[in-house]
A and B are shown apart, each in its own frame.
Chain A
Amino acid sequence: MEFFTTALGHVLTLGPLSAMTGSTLLGVFIGALPGLNPVMAIALLLPLTYSMDPLVALAMVAGIYNGSMYGGAIPAILLRIPGTPASIATTFDGFPMADKGEASKALKIACWSSAVGGIASAVALMTMGPLLARLTLFFGPAEYFWIAIFGMASVGVMVGSDPVKGIMAAVLGLLIGTMGIDNLSGQARFTFGQTWMLGGLDLIVVLVGLYALPPVLQLAEKADLRGLSAAQLKLADAPFKPGELRGLIPTWLRASGIGIGVGILPGAGGNIAAFLSYNAAKNASSDPESFGKGNPQGVAAAECGNNADNAASMIPALSLGIPGNVVAALVLSALTIHGLQPGPQLFHQNPVLVGGFMVEMLLTSVLIFALGGAVATRVFAQFQRLPGVLLVPSILILMCVGVYVINGRPVDLWVMLGAGIAGYLLEKVNVPLAPIILGMILGPMAEQSVRRALLISRGDATDLLTRPISAGLAIATLLVILWPVVKTLRRRRAARA
């Protein structure tokens, strides 16, 4: 408890408080604009946080993350266009509600459900994170190595449609992570005689390119010249029936549990949490036929589920160094920017920062109640009148300025451009991008750990497998990799039968 009260004292100061308020509003705005997503926004934000206090930087990440997950519901309800992939399930009942003249009610339910899901998730993070971190006191270099490999294997297998491509992407990330001077021996690796490559490829430069450029190119391909008309954004109001809000409580509890569970699993994201929560609400309903036709329970389940995934995905990220999703990987990048090593040591070395971030995830969820109301929603919805073709150069400029200010090197702009075009093409051939970034983040930890473990064991590789925890992690990694093979064999056998 002292852990959080100390952190709360640091968070309740002007810097983090104003960062949380501003970024939650910015997050709602970003989520409300189809084509922009939280990953892109946080990737663009990270270069700006170099000179900031780490708690302020993390407050901005928390605000954008929580705010945008709710903001995605605005176009999902008003236009049947999910603002973020996690709000696809919100369209099922949100748009029919708007169609019936209950848009304002649907948005209120989405706002409150997002806040409830976010708060439940933050509480789970605050209780489970420190417990899991305590376990890491028993970890040595061999365990750290296997944790890194397990994280990459599970994300590689679970993200995307093809596990082989996922793992291939993770290995590519590991290889990119080896570029530059080797910290242990001083050997320059894959620098191609370029002095600017001695420090390796900058993680944030690659990240901005990989995550921000592909959506920009997709937005340009759509070439939206008009934006939306005022009539399309008109909000009709409808009052709540007696007991209607109370009826949402079981849905909120169920969806929060599902979202938290999904969030902890590496590789699963907010869209999976929203779909599972929606299905669970439909199965539990006495009137499942009404789902898809404007049932408020559907909106509540989807929005609560996708926000309940947010903070929970930080549990393995903060305590073990394994990001549950891409945003968690970005949070780890934010920590790296400030010279903090993501992973098990973080809780022991920087308790104020880790505790402070947890508190910020909680407070930004509470802020959605206050800032995401109908008036704010009406204002944010108006930004959808901006033609998409004007957003394309604006985001490009933000990307370039963000990347340039990191090192003041024009060459970084070319690296970003190259990474972005490569990312666009890789996504088109179903190669997920998250494992590449994860490989870049966890690669140095994996390499240093395995080399230290081998030094300690005097080159005996079996030592990586003989300790109980490292053996358990190695088996878990093997199971994660073999699981898709078993599934394919089962499917083939079933098809033959």
Chain B
Amino acid sequence: MEKRQDIALGLIFVGIGIAAAWMARGYSGASGTYPMVLGVILALFGGTVSIKAARSGRTEARRLIDAPGHFFTTALIATAYVALVVPLGFYTASVLLMLALPLALGFRRLGYALIVALVFMALIYLVFSVLLEKPLPREAILSILGAGA
């Protein structure tokens, strides 16, 4: 398992290195030489990792993901959050995340999660919107309410 992972890892870096060196050929003068050299070095080190792994006798198990169910659930919800943060607005998407992610991970005390979410979002609002005055993605619900008024 470990051996195959390292062979694949090395080959990925060889690929990145060669692609970088190839692209750098088109850059003018010294601005291309430096990334080209780096690409070649990266490919050489990637190759070394692959060759070392292929020659090594070690095949002990190394899990890439410890709890795939929880990992993919979190990654998926995090991706959905990033996708929704602009269309829904920062605070709406964040409150949804604070409730949906614990629920998806098996937390069933919704009241507790809601209180923590509200306290946490109030803190975020105070720090980012009131104190630091940082512009965050606008709340869609406010636009809808505004249009309806």
Contact = CB atoms under 8 A, between A and B. Distances in A.
B9 to A, nearest CB: 5
B88 interface: no
A175 B90 CA distance: 33
By DSSP majority rule, is chain A's interface helix, strand, loop, or mixed? helix
B2 to A, nearest CB: 8
Contacts of A164: 45, 48-49, 52
B35 A165 contact: no
A460 interface: no
Interface string B1-36: 000011001000100100010011001111110110
A398 B27 CA distance: 39
A417 B74 CA distance: 12
B94 to A, nearest CB: 5
A352 B16 CA distance: 42
What size tier do the contact residues of chain B reach?
A: 35 or more
A167 interface: yes
A299 B97 CA distance: 40
Contacts of B140: none
Highest count of chain A CB atoms <10 Å: which of B30, B52, B98, B105: B105
A430 to B, nearest CB: 8
Interface in A136-184: 162, 164-165, 167-168, 171-172, 174-175, 178, 182, 184
Nearest to A447: B34
A223 B32 CA distance: 47
B13 A172 contact: yes
Interface residues of A, number: 54
Contacts of B81: 396, 400
A288 interface: no
B48 A48 contact: no
Nearest to B78: A396
Highest count of chain B CB atoms <10 Å: which of A393, A400, A421, A454: A393
A55 to B, nearest CB: 18
A167 B41 CA distance: 10
A404 B136 contact: yes
A389 B105 contact: yes
A387 interface: yes
Contacts of A379: none
Given A221-B71, A421-B75, A429-B5, A400 B82 contact: yes
Contacts of B137: 404, 410
A414 interface: yes
Interface string A204-218: 000000000000111
A390 B124 contact: no
A408 to B, nearest CB: 6
A168 B98 contact: no
Interface string B70-82: 1101110011011
A410 B86 contact: yes
A170 to B, nearest CB: 9
Contact of B45 (A167, A386, A390): A167
B31 A392 contact: no
Contacts of A223: 67, 70, 105-106
Contact of B42 (A175, A225, A414): A175
Interface in B29-78: 29-32, 34-35, 38-39, 41-42, 45-46, 48-49, 52, 62-67, 70-71, 73-75, 78
Nearest to A421: B75
By DSSP majority rule, is chain B's interface helix, strand, loop, or mixed? helix
A221 B66 contact: yes
Contacts of B107: 225, 387, 389-390
Contact of A425 (B20, B23, B38, B64): B64
A195 interface: no
A401 interface: yes
Interface stretch (A111-119, A127-135, A185-193): A185-193
A187 B27 CA distance: 7
B42 A165 contact: no
A178 B34 contact: yes
B120 A172 contact: no
Nearest to B20: A175
Contacts of B29: 185
A394 interface: yes
Nearest to A188: B27
Interface of A: 48, 51, 162, 164-165, 167-168, 171-172, 174-175, 178, 182, 184-185, 187, 189-190, 216-218, 220-223, 225, 386-387, 389-390, 392-394, 396-398, 400-401, 404-405, 408, 410, 413-414, 417, 421, 425, 428-429, 431, 447, 450-451, 454
Given A218-B66, A390-B98, 13 more contacts: A165-B9, A168-B13, A185-B30, A221-B65, A221-B71, A223-B67, A389-B105, A390-B112, A394-B116, A397-B98, A397-B120, A397-B124, A429-B6
5 contacts: A168-B49, A187-B28, A225-B105, A389-B102, A404-B137
Interface of B: 5-6, 9, 13, 16, 20, 23-24, 27-32, 34-35, 38-39, 41-42, 45-46, 48-49, 52, 62-67, 70-71, 73-75, 78-79, 81-82, 85-86, 90, 94, 97-98, 101-102, 105-107, 112-113, 116, 120, 124, 128, 132, 134-137
The 10 tightest CB contacts between A and B, nearest first, are A220-B74, A168-B45, A221-B67, A187-B31, A182-B31, A185-B31, A393-B101, A389-B102, A405-B134, A178-B35
